[in-house]
A and B are shown apart, each in its own frame.
Chain A
Amino acid sequence: MDPRSPEPPVSTPQTDQVVRIAAVDKTFISGSSALTTALQGIDLDIRRGEFISLIGPSGCGKSTLLRVIGDLVAPTRGTVTVNGKPASRARRDRDYGIVFQAPVLFDWRSVEDNVKLPLELMGYDRARRTERAKEMLDLVELSDFLHHRPYQLSGGMQQRVAIARALAFEPSILLMDEPFGALDEMTRERMNQEVLRIWERTGITVVFVTHSIPEAVFLSSRVVVMSARPGRITDLIEIDLPRPRDVQTREQRRYFELVTAVREALRRGGADTGAAEPAAEMDLASIDRTIAEGGIG
């Protein structure tokens, strides 16, 4: 079903596995002595070239799971294998490109120099750095802003610079933590389109954290539904919308069916935690509104 794989179409399941998460728990010490279980019994396999979204209410550990994959947070129990090696090794091998909710650009560097930062640290020579930065800024359509400072760009443009920086050193996995959460709805939809275009051109594996149901459905090949307290995976929903996806995709009947399916999965996940937390309720309510306004007709 997934035409994204950069490998020849027939590949063994072994080599097809990019990320394998097995029995991962993560507990944090919160307050003086209380333990918070952020993740419990997480098992997840991610195939090469997949676009995976992690969705769930706030506090469900989706960002923590992303950080566990990227070896920014160590799991309390369980293993994370990336490209056949431990996550810590994968991080040192620079297998990860990361995009956070905030663009995290350095104001003291030009746009171009921000994209070059990882290349500098990874020992690319000068000519190669310039070449890669130009390629990447072409890819995110910011070639005219090479010498601008980050603060001279809009929020959406800053986030595109962050994506260019994350892809510059050709990592095999792109980790995105609510990258468009701070953007307005119109910009967010444009950025979604942009990310799909980049994903299609590079064939990179993407793990995408979001709390927007429409965003998750529009982008993903699979949506991982999580529930809070303790954070665990309650559903895996295959998104079989045809590619390439565009504005029309958001108006297809199948799209709305899948949005509904994800929403119901989220409800089910929330139901057995007893009293749903207010933040999660608000998320769902706003998503309902969005769908109502979009209107199935």
Chain B
Amino acid sequence: MTSAAAASPGRTSGTARPAGKWLQRFWYHLPAVIVFVGTIGLWELLVRNIDLRGLPLPAPSAIVSALGENWSSGRWPLAKAAGATLFEAVGGLAIGTSLGVVVAFVTARYATVRELLLPLAVGASAVPIVAFAPLMNNWFGVLNPLSKMMIVAVLVFFPVVVNVTRGLTQVEPAALELLRSYGASDWTVLRVLRLPNALPYFFTALKIGTTLSLIGAIVGEYFGGSSEVLGRVVVQSASALRFDVTWAAIVLAAVSGIVMYLAIVAIERAVIPWHASVRSQEP
């Protein structure tokens, strides 16, 4: 996921004609595609030709057929499980982000609050948050998706607070002087300078959040709850030695993460086309 993000700004290099641009893109991406396909092929070949002596590594083809067979039927309906997990992840991301943004606004506005909350935030973020998972299951009901969402929310909360606070406070001093020379109020400074300045930081936090939210949801599921979720499928299929299904669930988790990430990137490009990280995409 991260490498996909790093690659995107350099993707287009300037002003080539549309046809040339596509060709350019094709050549740019070709090596990565070759490496990807080659790795999968090599994996397939190795598993088929070498006796792994009980090392439970199914071939990619076996994983794909497990995906197909268990897509909507059987003991582990994967599509439904992925949907449920994605729901928890997105819901938790929304809750954590909303709370984080609110707290960021307060800490950015009031230095005293910042000084009071920062040590707490640093301390809290040092705790491996997934350790709270059984607690959340206990508080919000193990069968209630909200319990998983709250684990996700706690996980997502801190990067949002830290990044958005930074975005609201780290503005160019000269820009503040400029607005002061116009006699602008604090509210105006927030509206015309701090808010737009914080948007790129907000999207950075969201992108970090997508990865964290799936980790949070799946780990939360390990500690119990509905069985039709990816985390339970992983635990149950592995203990039933159906590793092809386990791998299929892992692949779906990865795909869910990539889909969330790409959705955030698409929103980011639409909202802040002026920012350096997405600029090269502008016509």
Residues of A within 8 A of B172 (CB): 102, 104
Q: Residue on B with the closest CB to A96? A: B181
Contact (Cβ within 8 A) A72 B279: no
Question: Is B181's CB under 8 angstroms from A106's CB?
Answer: no
Q: Does B11 touch A at the CB level, under 8 Å? A: no
In Å, the complex CA distance between A97 and B199 comes to: 28
Say whether B184 contacts A91, CB under 8 Å: no
Complex interface: stretch among B27-35, B71-79, B85-93, B188-196: B188-196
Q: Count residues of chain B with CB under 8 A from any CB of chain A.
A: 21
B177 touches A107 (CB 8 A): no
For A94, the chain B residues whose CB sits under 8 A away are 182-183
Residues on the B chain within 8 Å of A97, using CB: 181
| Min distance, Cβ B175 to any Cβ of chain A, angstroms | 5
Partner of A72, one of B175, B181, B188, B196: B181
Kindly list chain A residues whose C-beta atoms are within 8 Å of the C-beta of B48: none
Interface size on A, residues (CB 8 A): 22
Determine if B25 is an interface residue (Cβ-Cβ < 8 Å): no
Query: Given A67, A100, A118, which contacts B182 in the complex, CB threshold below 8 Å?
Result: A118
Q: Is the CB of B181 within 8 A of A117?
A: no
- Complex interface bits, A101-119 against B, C-beta within 8 A gives 1, otherwise 0: 1101011100000000110
Q: Let me know if B275 and A122 touch, CB within 8 A.
A: no
B180 in the interface (beta carbon within 8 A): yes
Is there contact, CB below 8 Å, between A91 and B274?
A: no
* B258 interface hit (Cβ, 8 Å): no
Q: Of residues B179, B182, B184, B192, which shows the largest number of chain A Cβ atoms within 10 Å of its Cβ?
A: B182
Decide if A70 is an interface residue (CB 8 Å cutoff): yes
A149 within 8 A of B: yes
With contacts A72-B177, A100-B177, A122-B182 known, is A106 near B279, CB below 8 A?
A: no
A70-B188 in contact given A100-B174, A108-B274 (Cβ < 8 Å): no
Query: Contact check: which of B181, B184, B188, B192 meets A98 at CB < 8 Å?
Result: B181
Q: Which residue of A lies closest to B183 (CB)?
A: A92
Name the distance in Å between B12's Cβ and chain A's nearest Cβ. 15
Check if A151 sits within 8 Å of B279, measured CB to CB.
Answer: yes
CA distance in complex: A108, B278 (Å) = 12
Q: In residues 112-134 of chain A, which contact B (Cβ within 8 Å)?
A: 117-118, 121-122
Contact B196 A108 (CB under 8 A): yes
CB of B272 within 8 Å of the partner chain: yes
Chain B residues in 8 Å Cβ range of A118: 182
Say whether chain A's binding surface is mostly helix, strand, loop, or mixed: loop
Known: A100-B174, A117-B192, A121-B188. A107 touches B275 (CB 8 A): yes
Residue of B nearest to A97 (CB): B181
Task: List residues 218-248 of chain A with CB under 8 A from any CB of chain B.
Answer: none
Q: Is the CB of A106 within 8 A of B196?
A: yes
| Neighbour of A104 across the interface among B178, B184, B274, CB < 8 A | B178
- The answer, among B188, B192, B199, B274, for a CB contact under 8 Å with A149, is B274
Q: Which residues of B contact A108 (CB under 8 A)?
A: 196, 199, 272, 274
Chain A residue numbers with a CB within 8 Å of B276 are 151
B15 to chain A, nearest CB (A): 12
A206 to chain B, nearest CB (A): 15
B182 A104 Cβ-Cβ under 8 A: no
Q: Which residues of A contact B182 (CB under 8 A)?
A: 94, 117-118, 121-122
Q: Assuming A102-B174, A106-B196, is B184 touching A70 (CB within 8 A)?
A: no
Give the residues in chain A near B184, CB-CB below 8 Å. Answer: 121
Q: Which residues of B are found within 8 Å of A106, using beta-carbon distances?
A: 175, 192-193, 196
Q: Which partner residue on chain B sits nearest A107 by CB separation?
A: B274
Residues of A with C-beta under 8 A to B188: 121
A122 proximity list for chain B (CB < 8 A): 182
**Using Cβ atoms and an 8 Å threshold, which residues of chain A touch B275?**
107
B189-215 near A? 1/0 per residue, CB < 8 Å: 000110010010000000000000000
- Return chain B residues, CB-CB under 8 Å to A67: 177
Assembled-state Cα–Cα distance A100/B179 (Å): 12
How many Å lie between the Cα of A127 and that of B41 in the bound state?
64
Q: How many Å lie between the Cα of A70 and that of B174 in the bound state? A: 13
Q: Quick check: B178 and A91 within 8 Å, CB to CB?
A: no
B-contacting residues, A60-80, CB 8 Å:
67, 70, 72
A100's contact among B178, B196, B274, by CB below 8 Å, is which? B178
Shortest distance between the CB of B171 and any CB in chain A (Å): 10
Query: What are 23 A-B residue pairs whose CB atoms fall within 8 Å in the complex?
Result: A91-B181, A91-B183, A94-B183, A96-B181, A98-B181, A100-B177, A100-B178, A101-B174, A102-B174, A104-B172, A106-B175, A106-B193, A107-B275, A108-B196, A108-B272, A117-B182, A121-B179, A121-B183, A121-B184, A121-B188, A149-B274, A151-B274, A151-B276
Interface residues, chain A, CB within 8 Å of chain B? Answer: 67, 70, 72, 91-92, 94, 96-98, 100-102, 104, 106-108, 117-118, 121-122, 149, 151
- Given contacts A91-B180, A94-B183, list 10 more A-B pairs with CB under 8 A: A72-B180, A91-B181, A98-B181, A102-B172, A106-B192, A108-B196, A117-B192, A121-B188, A149-B274, A151-B276
Q: Which 6 A-B residue pairings sit nearest by Cβ, starting from the closest?
A: A108-B196, A107-B274, A100-B174, A104-B174, A92-B183, A108-B274
